[in-house]
């Protein structure tokens, strides 16, 4: 069989620990035998990040902007323990935060749904994709402990010196205040990323805030979404047969629980933080969550939602067998290859991506799975396998499909 040819390179961002091991196995077993793989390689492994003073992370994000599609392996976010372990020069920011800031993107998280790993919520049949606005609100808030009676005010001073002022509260004893902000430019980027991703995946988009209570702050989110939708997306949504739907956050949570899934739920920063944990847990496994970063200009980066699975890596280093789930990382690759195929008009590449996903799902549904899934599956006959065995089983199924 001839290998599938690519015309534009994928931006490949390699990572750390157990996921770095899986990364190589996936390439060797599932990609290189079938595709004349073209990538521009960036090593985001912590050692090389340190060697380049994290310049490699910035370069990889710029390359993603240039080529439009990237695939990323999980990476270590340095903390005090990692400073010591890797003798780092500096406590670098999380690569995801650096890349997200440069691409001004929104992260979409969606579970991979397979028979045998059943959601806790009985009605859910299709994935629910959560889009979290990753700027501002309580995450960039300024807070104050009020020691005793007094007046707290909120003041805005314009560049010409004029002021706007509101009383927050006349305290008659100790208390607390918080000031938070957001900016229209970021909310607009968030809205466009959501509308683009809905069009790209052919799914409805839901958005919800507490605008009945927050008549200026949350209302501003609602208005910006509606204005951009009406001006730029309404017709395209109609043509695609999908819907943009705004509702109150209380109503949204109730509807989500009663729904079948199959839509994108756009959330403000805090709502997305909390709801993505709830949705991920209810769908069964963090190891089955994909994560896609989409910028308003359409640049897309695919990855798994989980981390580097450090505990398994140390077992691996000790020569012990591991049973680490590679599904979300496989889907990061298939997502990126499919997107590259669509952009470059290489139908074969998109078809390959579909078959790779199908082979992965077939493997699990036939009972062959890693330990994390074996613990929670509802299937009767389970063949629990190691990290490498799983990938080899996917390869066998893939060869049958090709
Ligand atoms: P983690 O790597 O997601 O792993 C936490 C635990 O979840 C694992 O110990 C394992 O449980 C289970 N797990 C996660 N993924 C799994 C998989 N693919 N297969 C089987 N089990 C899986 O989170 P962490 O231990 O908190 O973080 C480790 C490192 O990853 C940290 O340095 C963190 O900075 C980094 N991180 C990176 C990203 C990213 O790049 N996007 C995201 C999150 C964290 P058991 O041990 O019980 O088997
Ligand atoms: Mg959270």
In 10 A of CB 358, how many CB atoms?
Answer: 14
Regarding whether 83 and 102 lie in a shared domain, the answer is yes
Residues 96 and 161 in one domain: no
pLDDT tens for 252-274 read: 999 999 999 999 999 999 999 88
Closest CA to 68 of 236, 291, 294: 294
Q: Which of 126, 151, 179 is the last residue of a domain?
A: 179
- 307 lies in a domain? yes
C-alpha 323 to ligand 1 mean position (Å): 13
pLDDT score at 104: 83
Please give the C-alpha separations between residue 264 and each of 244, 250, 326, 383, in angstroms, as whole numbers. 10, 17, 24, 34
Q: Which residue has the tokens 């199908």?
A: 358
Q: Is residue 331 part of a domain?
A: yes
- CATH for 361: 3.40.718.10
The CA 310 to ligand 1 mean position distance, Å, reads 6
Looking at the fold, whether 206 and 98 belong to one and the same domain comes out as no
How far is residue 136's CA from residue 192's CA, in Å, rounded to a whole number? 17
Q: Is 287 in the pocket of ligand 1 (CB under 6 A)?
A: yes
Percentage of residues of the chain with pLDDT beyond 70: 100
Cα 180 to chain centroid, rounded: 25
Backbone torsions φ then ψ of 375, nearest 5 degrees: -70, -30
| Mean pLDDT (whole number) for 118-140 | 92
Distance in angstroms (rounded) separating the CA atoms of residues 300 and 200: 11
Atom of ligand 1 nearest to the CA of 22: 18
Domain end point (choices 222, 248, 283) = 283
| Ligand 1 pocket member 112 (CB < 6 A) | no
CA distances from 268 to 131, 147, 210, 259 (A): 8, 31, 10, 20
Most informative mutation of 308, 330, 370, 389 for ligand 1 (most atoms within 8 A of CB):
308
Residues 208 and 263 in one domain: yes
Q: Note the ligand closest to the C-alpha atom of 305.
A: 1
Last residue in a domain, options 257, 283, 309: 283
234 and 131 within one domain? yes
- Asked which of 97-101, 328-332, 338-342, 376-380 is least confident by mean pLDDT, the reply is 97-101
Is 372 near ligand 1, meaning CB less than 6 Å away?
Answer: yes
CA dist., res. 328 & res. 309, Å (int)? 13
Query: Does a structural domain hold residue 227?
Result: yes
Q: What is the pLDDT of residue 51?
A: 98
Task: Tell whether the model's pLDDT for residue 246 goes beyond 90.
Answer: yes
Residue 105: the pLDDT is 84
Domains held by the chain: number: 3
CA 57 vs CA 14, 95, 143: distances in Å: 10, 6, 32
Residue 97 banded pLDDT, cuts 50, 70, 90: confident
**Which residues span the domain enclosing 102?**
1-108+293-402
Nearest ligand to the CA of 331 is 1
Asked if the structure places residue 113 within a domain, the reply is: no
Judged by its nearest atom, the ligand closest to the C-alpha of residue 20 is 1
Averaged pLDDT, 316-339: 97
Interval 182-224: pLDDT, tens: 999 999 999 999 999 999 999 999 999 999 999 999 999 999 9
pLDDT at 332 over 80: yes
Using alpha carbons, list the distances in angstroms from residue 170 to 109, 148, 152, 153. Answer: 42, 11, 6, 9
Tokens representing 165 are: 């002022």
Does ligand 1 have an atom closer than 6 angstroms to the CB of 356?
no
In a domain, 126, yes or no: yes
Answer whether 98 contacts ligand 1 (Cβ < 6 A).
Answer: no
What letters, b where the CB count within 10 A reaches 16 and e where it falls short, cover 93-110? eebbebbbebbbbbbbbb
How high is the pLDDT of residue 276? 86
The count of C-alpha atoms lying within 13 angstroms of the C-alpha of 349, restricted to the half-sphere facing its C-beta, is 25
User: Helix, strand, or coil here: 160?
Assistant: coil
229 within some domain:
yes
Per residue in 56-94, pLDDT (tens digit) is: 999 999 999 999 999 999 999 999 999 999 999 999 999
Q: In terms of domains, do 4 and 53 share one? A: yes
Asked if 35 and 130 sit in the same domain, the reply is no
* Residue 36 contacts residue 27 (beta carbons within 8 Å): no
Mean pLDDT of 317-321: 97
Q: Is the CB of 311 under 6 A from ligand 1?
A: yes
């Amino acid at each position: 069989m001839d290998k599938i040819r690519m015309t534009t390179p994928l931006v490949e961002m390699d990572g750390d620990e157990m996921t770095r091991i899986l990364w190589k196995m996936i390439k060797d077993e599932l990609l290189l035998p079938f595709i004349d793989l073209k990538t521009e390689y960036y090593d985001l492994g912590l050692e090389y990040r340190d060697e380049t003073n994290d310049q490699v992370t910035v370069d990889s994000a710029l390359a993603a902007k240039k080529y439009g599609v990237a695939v990323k392996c999980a990476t270590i976010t340095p903390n005090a323990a990692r400073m010591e372990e890797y003798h780092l020069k500096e406590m670098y920011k999380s690569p995801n935060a650096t890349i997200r800031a440069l691409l001004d993107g929104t992260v979409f998280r969606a579970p991979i749904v397979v028979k045998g790993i059943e959601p806790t919520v009985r009605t859910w049949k299709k994935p629910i994709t959560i889009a979290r606005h990753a700027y501002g609100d309580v995450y960039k808030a300024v807070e104050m402990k009020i020691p005793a009676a007094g007046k707290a005010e909120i003041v805005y001073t314009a560049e010409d010196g004029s002021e706007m002022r509101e009383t927050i509260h006349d305290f008659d004893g100790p208390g607390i205040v918080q000031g938070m902000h957001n900016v229209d430019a970021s909310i607009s980027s968030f809205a466009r990323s959501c509308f683009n991703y809905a069009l790209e995946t052919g799914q409805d988009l839901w958005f919800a805030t507490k605008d009945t209570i927050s008549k200026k702050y949350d209302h501003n989110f609602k208005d910006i979404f509606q204005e951009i939708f009406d001006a730029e997306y309404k017709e395209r949504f109609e043509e695609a047969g999908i819907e943009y739907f705004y509702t109150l956050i209380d109503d949204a949570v109730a509807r989500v629980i009663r729904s079948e899934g199959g839509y994108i739920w756009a959330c403000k920063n805090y709502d997305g933080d909390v709801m993505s944990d709830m949705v991920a847990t209810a769908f069964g496994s963090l190891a089955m969550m994909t994560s896609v970063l989409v910028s308003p200009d359409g640049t897309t980066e695919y990855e798994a939602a989980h981390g580097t699975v450090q505990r398994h890596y140390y077992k691996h280093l000790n020569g012990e067998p591991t049973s680490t789930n590679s599904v979300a990382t496989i889907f990061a690759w298939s997502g990126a290859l499919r997107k590259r195929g669509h952009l470059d008009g290489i139908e074969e590449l998109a078809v390959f991506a579909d078959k790779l996903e199908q082979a992965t799902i077939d493997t699990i549904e036939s009972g062959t799975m890693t330990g994390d899934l074996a613990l929670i599956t509802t299937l009767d006959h389970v063949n629990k396998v190691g990290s490498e065995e799983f990938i080899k089983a996917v390869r066998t199924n893939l060869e049958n499909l090709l």
